[in-house]
Amino acid sequence: MQAAEREPSSASESPWFWVLIFSLAALAAIATIGPKFERREEAIETKFHARERATGREAIERPADDAAQEGPPWQPIFTLGPIAAVVALIAVVAMVNLVRLHRRRLEYWRRETQEGQSQAPPDVDVRSAAEPRAD
């Protein structure tokens, strides 16, 4: 039997299925933990900038008459955006490959049904709509 003619495996046996599942779980985790991470990162970076100012390494331009003015607004150095983008890209690649696998399976079953060499998979009803069901 040639490799092209052998029956395609089920979707859950494909590594792409599991890559998709875990990448979607990672995206859900990033979306869930994102706000808490941003608050924590803001506190860490604020402390870092305060230590830098205390040691004189970071100069903040302040007007001489307004000594109580806050520093510059907080801009995050590290965000979850790039990580989420990479995980989303992995999920898209896995989805495309899973769709290709599904199309191969459908084509295999159509070909086998037309040739009359095998039965359709249990989850596919190949009878026409005019045929009555024996329920």
Domain ranges of the chain: 14-59+79-115
CB within 8 Å of 91: residues ≥ 6 apart? 19, 20, 23, 24, 27
- d(CA 84, CA 65) in angstroms, rounded, equals 44
CB within 8 Å of 78: residues ≥ 6 apart? 41
pTM of the predicted structure, to 2 decimals: 0.61
Q: Is the pLDDT reported for residue 51 higher than 90?
A: no
- pLDDT tens for 11-35 read 778 899 999 999 999 999 999 999 8
- d(CA 130, CA 99) in angstroms, rounded, equals 30
- d(CA 65, CA 44) in angstroms, rounded, equals 29
